[in-house]
Protein backbone atom coordinates (compact mmCIF):
# COMPACT_ATOMS: atom_id res chain seq x y z
CA UNK A 1 0.00 0.00 0.00
CA UNK A 2 1.50 3.34 -1.07
CA UNK A 3 1.66 6.40 1.12
CA UNK A 4 -1.09 8.02 -0.93
CA UNK A 5 -3.46 5.08 -0.49
CA UNK A 6 -2.65 5.05 3.17
CA UNK A 7 -3.62 8.71 3.50
CA UNK A 8 -6.80 8.20 1.53
CA UNK A 9 -7.81 5.23 3.67
CA UNK A 10 -7.00 7.11 6.85
CA UNK A 11 -9.00 10.10 5.62
CA UNK A 12 -11.94 7.85 4.79
CA UNK A 13 -11.89 6.18 8.19
CA UNK A 14 -11.63 9.55 9.96
CA UNK A 15 -14.62 10.83 7.99
CA UNK A 16 -16.54 7.64 8.75
CA UNK A 17 -15.70 7.80 12.43
CA UNK A 18 -16.95 11.40 12.50
CA UNK A 19 -20.15 10.54 10.63
CA UNK A 20 -20.70 7.52 12.79
CA UNK A 21 -20.10 9.41 16.03
CA UNK A 22 -22.47 12.20 15.08
CA UNK A 23 -25.13 9.75 13.88
CA UNK A 24 -24.86 7.93 17.16
CA UNK A 25 -25.24 10.85 19.45
CA UNK A 26 -28.52 12.67 19.76
CA UNK A 27 -27.33 16.21 20.43
CA UNK A 28 -30.89 17.47 20.72
CA UNK A 29 -31.99 15.67 23.90
CA UNK A 30 -30.41 17.12 26.97
CA UNK A 31 -30.66 19.79 29.61
CA UNK A 32 -29.23 23.22 30.40
CA UNK A 33 -26.61 23.47 33.12
CA UNK A 34 -24.58 26.33 34.47
CA UNK A 35 -21.06 26.11 33.09
CA UNK A 36 -18.38 28.51 34.29
CA UNK A 37 -16.76 28.40 30.84
CA UNK A 38 -19.78 30.20 29.40
CA UNK A 39 -20.50 32.49 27.63
CA UNK A 40 -18.39 31.42 24.65
CA UNK A 41 -17.47 35.07 24.09
CA UNK A 42 -17.79 38.44 25.73
CA UNK A 43 -20.49 40.25 23.75
CA UNK A 44 -18.63 43.54 24.28
CA UNK A 45 -15.71 41.98 22.43
CA UNK A 46 -17.84 41.48 19.31
CA UNK A 47 -17.73 45.00 17.83
CA UNK A 48 -20.25 44.32 15.06
CA UNK A 49 -22.99 42.81 17.22
CA UNK A 50 -26.36 44.23 16.19
CA UNK A 51 -28.29 46.32 18.66
CA UNK A 52 -31.25 43.97 18.40
CA UNK A 53 -29.28 41.12 19.97
CA UNK A 54 -26.89 43.07 22.24
CA UNK A 55 -29.00 42.70 25.39
CA UNK A 56 -26.28 43.53 27.89
CA UNK A 57 -25.36 46.70 26.06
CA UNK A 58 -29.07 47.58 26.00
CA UNK A 59 -29.19 47.37 29.79
CA UNK A 60 -30.33 43.84 30.55
CA UNK A 61 -29.43 43.63 34.25
CA UNK A 62 -29.11 39.84 34.74
CA UNK A 63 -26.41 37.73 33.14
CA UNK A 64 -27.03 34.21 34.46
CA UNK A 65 -28.67 33.44 31.11
CA UNK A 66 -25.26 33.67 29.44
CA UNK A 67 -23.83 30.96 31.71
CA UNK A 68 -25.96 28.01 30.62
CA UNK A 69 -24.47 25.27 28.48
CA UNK A 70 -26.47 22.60 26.69
CA UNK A 71 -25.60 19.11 27.93
CA UNK A 72 -26.83 16.30 25.67
CA UNK A 73 -27.97 13.30 27.72
CA UNK A 74 -25.82 10.71 25.97
CA UNK A 75 -22.61 12.50 24.96
CA UNK A 76 -20.59 15.70 25.16
CA UNK A 77 -20.63 18.59 22.78
CA UNK A 78 -17.18 19.56 21.64
CA UNK A 79 -16.41 23.22 22.03
CA UNK A 80 -16.36 25.10 18.74
CA UNK A 81 -12.73 25.50 17.74
CA UNK A 82 -12.60 28.60 15.51
CA UNK A 83 -9.21 27.80 14.00
CA UNK A 84 -10.33 24.30 13.07
CA UNK A 85 -13.60 25.53 11.63
CA UNK A 86 -11.86 28.15 9.48
CA UNK A 87 -9.27 25.61 8.29
CA UNK A 88 -12.06 23.16 7.47
CA UNK A 89 -13.69 25.83 5.28
CA UNK A 90 -10.52 27.50 3.91
CA UNK A 91 -11.40 29.01 0.54
CA UNK A 92 -15.04 28.04 1.00
CA UNK A 93 -18.34 29.64 1.83
CA UNK A 94 -21.02 29.16 4.45
CA UNK A 95 -24.44 30.70 3.94
CA UNK A 96 -27.43 31.13 6.22
CA UNK A 97 -30.65 31.64 4.26
CA UNK A 98 -33.82 32.80 5.97
CA UNK A 99 -35.39 35.42 8.21
CA UNK A 100 -34.06 37.32 11.23
CA UNK A 101 -33.56 34.05 13.13
CA UNK A 102 -30.99 33.19 10.47
CA UNK A 103 -29.43 36.61 11.08
CA UNK A 104 -29.39 35.77 14.78
CA UNK A 105 -27.45 32.55 14.12
CA UNK A 106 -25.18 34.15 11.49
CA UNK A 107 -24.27 36.91 13.92
CA UNK A 108 -23.60 34.35 16.65
CA UNK A 109 -21.22 32.40 14.41
CA UNK A 110 -19.30 35.49 13.30
CA UNK A 111 -18.98 36.58 16.96
CA UNK A 112 -17.76 33.14 18.08
CA UNK A 113 -15.17 32.99 15.30
CA UNK A 114 -14.02 36.58 15.64
CA UNK A 115 -13.73 36.54 19.41
CA UNK A 116 -11.58 33.39 19.36
CA UNK A 117 -9.32 34.84 16.68
CA UNK A 118 -9.45 38.58 17.36
CA UNK A 119 -6.36 39.23 15.23
CA UNK A 120 -7.65 37.49 12.12
CA UNK A 121 -8.50 40.09 9.48
CA UNK A 122 -12.08 40.37 8.36
CA UNK A 123 -14.35 42.42 6.16
CA UNK A 124 -18.12 42.88 6.24
CA UNK A 125 -20.00 43.81 3.08
CA UNK A 126 -23.60 43.91 2.04
CA UNK A 127 -25.01 43.64 -1.45
CA UNK A 128 -28.77 43.59 -1.80
CA UNK A 129 -30.12 40.93 0.53
CA UNK A 130 -26.77 39.22 1.02
CA UNK A 131 -24.40 40.16 3.85
CA UNK A 132 -20.93 38.67 3.69
CA UNK A 133 -18.48 38.37 6.55
CA UNK A 134 -15.09 37.31 5.17
CA UNK A 135 -12.14 36.03 7.16
CA UNK A 136 -9.66 37.29 4.60
CA UNK A 137 -6.63 35.35 5.90
CA UNK A 138 -8.55 32.10 5.42
CA UNK A 139 -10.68 33.05 2.43
CA UNK A 140 -13.73 31.90 4.38
CA UNK A 141 -17.03 33.63 3.70
CA UNK A 142 -19.80 33.46 6.29
CA UNK A 143 -22.86 34.81 4.50
CA UNK A 144 -26.47 35.67 5.18
CA UNK A 145 -29.15 35.75 2.50
CA UNK A 146 -32.26 37.41 3.86
CA UNK A 147 -35.15 35.49 2.34
CA UNK A 148 -38.04 35.09 4.74
CA UNK A 149 -40.16 32.53 2.80
CA UNK A 150 -37.47 30.77 0.69
CA UNK A 151 -40.05 30.82 -2.14
CA UNK A 152 -40.55 34.04 -4.14
CA UNK A 153 -42.59 37.17 -3.57
CA UNK A 154 -43.08 38.80 -6.98
CA UNK A 155 -44.47 42.25 -7.77
CA UNK A 156 -47.20 41.91 -10.42
CA UNK A 157 -49.89 44.26 -11.74
CA UNK A 158 -52.42 42.95 -9.17
CA UNK A 159 -49.97 43.43 -6.29
CA UNK A 160 -47.29 41.43 -4.48
CA UNK A 161 -47.75 37.68 -4.99
CA UNK A 162 -46.28 35.01 -2.73
CA UNK A 163 -45.62 32.13 -5.16
CA UNK A 164 -45.47 28.83 -3.35
CA UNK A 165 -44.02 26.97 -6.33
CA UNK A 166 -41.44 29.50 -7.48
CA UNK A 167 -37.92 29.62 -6.06
CA UNK A 168 -35.86 31.93 -8.29
CA UNK A 169 -34.13 33.17 -5.14
CA UNK A 170 -32.21 29.89 -5.21
CA UNK A 171 -29.83 31.43 -7.77
CA UNK A 172 -27.88 32.88 -4.85
CA UNK A 173 -27.37 29.50 -3.14
CA UNK A 174 -25.50 27.74 -5.92
CA UNK A 175 -21.85 26.96 -5.34
CA UNK A 176 -22.02 27.48 -1.57
CA UNK A 177 -20.28 24.77 0.48
CA UNK A 178 -22.45 24.80 3.61
CA UNK A 179 -26.06 25.98 3.50
CA UNK A 180 -28.29 26.45 6.55
CA UNK A 181 -31.89 27.27 5.63
CA UNK A 182 -34.76 28.49 7.77
CA UNK A 183 -38.28 29.79 7.31
CA UNK A 184 -41.26 29.86 9.65
CA UNK A 185 -41.81 33.08 11.58
CA UNK A 186 -43.28 35.03 8.65
CA UNK A 187 -45.88 32.46 7.67
CA UNK A 188 -48.36 33.66 10.29
CA UNK A 189 -47.92 37.36 9.58
CA UNK A 190 -51.08 39.29 8.83
CA UNK A 191 -51.97 42.94 8.54
CA UNK A 192 -49.70 45.80 7.51
CA UNK A 193 -46.42 43.91 7.95
CA UNK A 194 -47.50 41.00 5.77
CA UNK A 195 -45.26 41.54 2.71
CA UNK A 196 -47.62 40.11 0.08
CA UNK A 197 -51.16 40.76 -1.19
CA UNK A 198 -51.96 37.44 -2.90
CA UNK A 199 -50.79 33.90 -2.60
CA UNK A 200 -50.33 31.63 -5.63
CA UNK A 201 -50.42 27.85 -5.66
CA UNK A 202 -50.31 26.17 -9.04
CA UNK A 203 -52.27 28.43 -11.40
CA UNK A 204 -54.58 29.59 -8.65
CA UNK A 205 -54.19 33.06 -7.14
CA UNK A 206 -55.96 33.55 -3.82
CA UNK A 207 -56.32 36.31 -1.26
CA UNK A 208 -55.23 33.93 1.51
CA UNK A 209 -55.12 30.28 2.53
CA UNK A 210 -54.35 28.01 5.48
CA UNK A 211 -50.90 29.22 6.50
CA UNK A 212 -49.66 25.85 7.69
CA UNK A 213 -50.54 24.33 4.29
CA UNK A 214 -48.80 27.22 2.55
CA UNK A 215 -45.71 26.65 4.72
CA UNK A 216 -45.69 22.96 3.83
CA UNK A 217 -46.09 23.66 0.13
CA UNK A 218 -43.17 26.10 0.19
CA UNK A 219 -41.01 23.55 2.00
CA UNK A 220 -41.88 21.01 -0.69
CA UNK A 221 -40.79 23.48 -3.38
CA UNK A 222 -37.58 24.11 -1.50
CA UNK A 223 -37.00 20.34 -1.11
CA UNK A 224 -37.39 19.88 -4.86
CA UNK A 225 -34.85 22.67 -5.36
CA UNK A 226 -32.42 20.80 -3.10
CA UNK A 227 -33.00 17.57 -5.00
CA UNK A 228 -32.29 19.14 -8.38
CA UNK A 229 -29.51 21.55 -7.45
CA UNK A 230 -27.38 20.15 -4.63
CA UNK A 231 -24.33 18.01 -5.26
CA UNK A 232 -23.92 16.26 -1.89
CA UNK A 233 -20.22 15.60 -2.52
CA UNK A 234 -19.67 19.35 -2.55
CA UNK A 235 -22.38 20.95 -0.43
CA UNK A 236 -23.70 20.21 3.04
CA UNK A 237 -27.32 21.20 3.60
CA UNK A 238 -28.95 21.89 6.94
CA UNK A 239 -32.33 23.16 7.97
CA UNK A 240 -32.22 25.35 11.07
CA UNK A 241 -35.28 23.99 12.88
CA UNK A 242 -38.24 25.97 14.17
CA UNK A 243 -37.02 28.60 16.63
CA UNK A 244 -39.72 29.02 19.28
CA UNK A 245 -41.14 32.16 20.92
CA UNK A 246 -42.29 32.67 24.52
CA UNK A 247 -45.48 34.71 24.78
CA UNK A 248 -47.65 32.36 26.79
CA UNK A 249 -46.58 31.34 30.30
CA UNK A 250 -49.24 28.61 30.44
CA UNK A 251 -46.89 26.63 28.26
CA UNK A 252 -44.16 26.68 30.93
CA UNK A 253 -46.41 26.45 34.00
CA UNK A 254 -46.45 30.18 34.78
CA UNK A 255 -49.95 31.04 33.52
CA UNK A 256 -49.66 34.65 34.68
CA UNK A 257 -46.68 35.34 32.41
CA UNK A 258 -47.83 36.92 29.13
CA UNK A 259 -44.31 37.37 27.75
CA UNK A 260 -40.71 36.35 28.52
CA UNK A 261 -39.90 39.57 30.38
CA UNK A 262 -38.14 39.02 33.70
CA UNK A 263 -37.37 35.36 33.02
CA UNK A 264 -33.91 34.66 34.36
CA UNK A 265 -33.65 30.88 34.24
CA UNK A 266 -34.39 28.09 31.77
CA UNK A 267 -37.12 25.50 32.27
CA UNK A 268 -35.58 22.73 34.34
CA UNK A 269 -35.02 19.28 32.90
CA UNK A 270 -35.45 17.94 29.39
CA UNK A 271 -39.15 18.36 28.78
CA UNK A 272 -41.17 21.43 27.83
CA UNK A 273 -44.63 21.38 29.45
CA UNK A 274 -46.29 23.05 26.45
CA UNK A 275 -45.02 20.50 23.92
CA UNK A 276 -43.63 21.27 20.48
CA UNK A 277 -45.15 23.70 17.97
CA UNK A 278 -47.15 22.03 15.16
CA UNK A 279 -44.80 23.49 12.57
CA UNK A 280 -42.14 21.00 13.71
CA UNK A 281 -44.20 18.05 12.46
CA UNK A 282 -44.89 19.79 9.17
CA UNK A 283 -41.20 20.50 8.73
CA UNK A 284 -40.15 16.93 9.54
CA UNK A 285 -42.70 15.57 7.10
CA UNK A 286 -41.39 17.84 4.33
CA UNK A 287 -37.77 16.91 5.06
CA UNK A 288 -38.56 13.20 4.76
CA UNK A 289 -39.63 13.72 1.14
CA UNK A 290 -36.20 15.05 0.11
CA UNK A 291 -33.91 12.45 -1.47
CA UNK A 292 -30.63 14.33 -1.04
CA UNK A 293 -29.09 14.43 2.44
CA UNK A 294 -30.45 17.35 4.47
CA UNK A 295 -29.84 17.44 8.18
CA UNK A 296 -32.26 19.04 10.57
CA UNK A 297 -30.66 21.21 13.20
CA UNK A 298 -33.44 20.24 15.55
CA UNK A 299 -33.12 23.16 17.96
CA UNK A 300 -36.78 23.57 18.90
CA UNK A 301 -36.91 21.71 22.20
CA UNK A 302 -33.61 23.00 23.54
CA UNK A 303 -34.66 26.55 22.66
CA UNK A 304 -38.16 26.12 24.10
CA UNK A 305 -36.50 25.45 27.45
CA UNK A 306 -34.83 28.90 27.22
CA UNK A 307 -37.66 31.25 28.15
CA UNK A 308 -34.85 33.35 29.68
CA UNK A 309 -32.88 33.70 26.43
CA UNK A 310 -34.85 36.42 24.59
CA UNK A 311 -34.16 40.17 24.55
CA UNK A 312 -37.64 41.01 25.94
CA UNK A 313 -37.37 44.81 26.35
CA UNK A 314 -33.56 44.83 25.97
CA UNK A 315 -33.53 44.51 22.18
CA UNK A 316 -34.90 47.21 19.88
CA UNK A 317 -37.29 48.37 22.61
CA UNK A 318 -40.58 46.66 21.77
CA UNK A 319 -41.24 43.36 23.56
CA UNK A 320 -39.22 40.68 21.78
CA UNK A 321 -39.63 37.07 22.90
CA UNK A 322 -38.79 35.67 19.45
CA UNK A 323 -35.15 36.57 18.84
CA UNK A 324 -32.29 35.65 21.14
CA UNK A 325 -29.73 37.64 23.08
CA UNK A 326 -26.09 37.22 22.06
CA UNK A 327 -24.10 35.77 23.69
CA UNK A 328 -26.84 33.18 24.14
CA UNK A 329 -28.94 30.38 22.73
CA UNK A 330 -27.87 30.59 19.02
CA UNK A 331 -24.27 29.99 20.16
CA UNK A 332 -25.46 26.50 21.11
CA UNK A 333 -27.11 26.03 17.71
CA UNK A 334 -23.73 26.80 16.14
CA UNK A 335 -21.89 24.58 18.55
CA UNK A 336 -24.16 21.66 17.55
CA UNK A 337 -23.77 22.55 13.86
CA UNK A 338 -20.00 22.41 14.38
CA UNK A 339 -20.25 19.01 16.06
CA UNK A 340 -22.30 17.72 13.12
CA UNK A 341 -19.85 18.85 10.43
CA UNK A 342 -16.54 18.32 12.20
C1 LIG B 1 -16.06 42.18 28.43
O2 LIG B 1 -15.39 43.17 27.69
C3 LIG B 1 -15.54 44.47 28.25
C4 LIG B 1 -14.95 45.47 27.27
O5 LIG B 1 -13.74 45.02 26.75
C6 LIG B 1 -14.88 44.50 29.62
O7 LIG B 1 -15.06 45.77 30.21
C8 LIG B 1 -15.57 43.43 30.51
O9 LIG B 1 -14.92 43.36 31.76
C10 LIG B 1 -15.53 42.08 29.84
N11 LIG B 1 -16.34 41.16 30.62
C12 LIG B 1 -15.91 39.97 30.98
C13 LIG B 1 -16.88 39.13 31.77
O14 LIG B 1 -14.80 39.56 30.70
C1 LIG C 1 -3.93 41.10 8.42
O2 LIG C 1 -3.62 41.85 7.29
C3 LIG C 1 -2.42 42.60 7.42
C4 LIG C 1 -2.29 43.52 6.21
O5 LIG C 1 -2.60 42.83 5.03
C6 LIG C 1 -1.23 41.62 7.54
O7 LIG C 1 -0.03 42.33 7.69
C8 LIG C 1 -1.48 40.74 8.77
O9 LIG C 1 -0.47 39.76 8.86
C10 LIG C 1 -2.83 40.07 8.70
N11 LIG C 1 -3.12 39.40 9.96
C12 LIG C 1 -3.09 38.10 10.10
C13 LIG C 1 -3.39 37.58 11.47
O14 LIG C 1 -2.87 37.33 9.19
C1 LIG D 1 -51.81 29.78 26.14
O2 LIG D 1 -51.71 28.37 26.17
C3 LIG D 1 -52.84 27.75 26.76
C4 LIG D 1 -52.51 26.28 26.93
O5 LIG D 1 -52.23 25.68 25.68
C6 LIG D 1 -54.08 28.01 25.90
O7 LIG D 1 -55.21 27.41 26.49
C8 LIG D 1 -54.28 29.52 25.79
O9 LIG D 1 -55.32 29.80 24.90
C10 LIG D 1 -53.02 30.22 25.31
N11 LIG D 1 -53.18 31.65 25.40
C12 LIG D 1 -53.00 32.47 24.39
C13 LIG D 1 -53.16 33.91 24.66
O14 LIG D 1 -52.66 32.07 23.28
Residue-by-residue DSSP string for 126-145: EETTEEEEEETTTTEEEEEE
The CB-side HSE value for 127 (13 A sphere, CA atoms) comes to 4
State if residue 250 touches ligand 3 by the CB under 6 angstroms criterion.
yes
> Which residue has its alpha carbon closest to ligand 2 atom 8?
121
Is the minimum distance from the CB of 257 to ligand 3 under 6 angstroms?
Answer: no
Distance CA 228, CA 92 (A): 22
Please give the positions annotated as active site.
100, 320, 323
Does this model's pTM top 0.85? My answer is yes
The Cα 240–Cα 340 span in angstroms is: 13
Q: Is 123 in the pocket of ligand 2 (CB under 6 A)?
A: no
Q: What is the per-residue pLDDT for 179?
A: 98
Task: Single out the residue of 288, 298, 227 nearest to residue 22, CA to CA.
Answer: 298
The number of the ligand 2 atom at minimal distance from the alpha carbon of 119 is: 13
Closest CA to 27 of 329, 298, 223: 298
Closest C-alpha among 170, 160, 149 to residue 216: 149
Tell me which residue of 102, 107, 180, 189 sits closest to 153, measured CA to CA: 189
Question: Using alpha carbons only, what angle is made at residue 257 by residues 254 and 259, rounded to the nearest 5 degrees?
Answer: 130
**Residues near 198 by beta carbon (within 8 Å), at least 6 away in sequence:** 158, 159, 160, 161, 162, 205, 206, 207
Domains of the chain: 53-341 (3.40.50.1110)
- Alpha-carbon distance of 330 to 302, in angstroms, equals 11
Would you state the pLDDT for residue 342? 86
Residue minimizing CA distance to atom 13 of ligand 2:
120
Residue nearest atom 2 in ligand 2 by C-alpha distance: 121
- 335: phi then psi, degrees, rounded to nearest 5: -65, -40
CB distance 326 to 54 below 8 Å: yes
Is 27:336 a contact under the CB 8 Å cutoff?
yes
Give the Å distance between the CA of 125 and the centre of ligand 2: 19
CA-atom Rg of the chain in angstroms? 20
H-only helix segments in the chain:
3-24, 82-88, 100-116, 211-229, 278-288, 300-304, 329-341
Task: State which residues of the chain have pLDDT below 70.
Answer: 1-24
Question: What is the 203 CA–ligand 3 centroid distance (Å)?
Answer: 37
- What's the pLDDT score for residue 45? 84
Look at residue 1 in the predicted model and tell me its pLDDT: 47
Q: Burial letters for 150-172: b for 16+ Cβ neighbours within 10 Å, e otherwise?
A: bbbbeeeeeeebbbbebbebbeb
CA angle 233, 168, 294 (to 5 degrees): 30
How does strand 159-163 pair with strand 152-156? antiparallel
Amino acid sequence: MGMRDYFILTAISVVWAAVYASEECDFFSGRWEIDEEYPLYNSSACPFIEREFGCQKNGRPDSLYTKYAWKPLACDLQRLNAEQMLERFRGKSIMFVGDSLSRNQWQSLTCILHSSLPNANYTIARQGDVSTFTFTDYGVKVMLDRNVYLVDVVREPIGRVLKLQSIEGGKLWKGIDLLIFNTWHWWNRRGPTQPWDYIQTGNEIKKDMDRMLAFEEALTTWGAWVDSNIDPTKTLVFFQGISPSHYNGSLWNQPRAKTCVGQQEPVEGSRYPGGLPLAVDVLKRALKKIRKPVKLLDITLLSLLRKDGHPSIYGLGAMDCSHWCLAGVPDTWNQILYNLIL
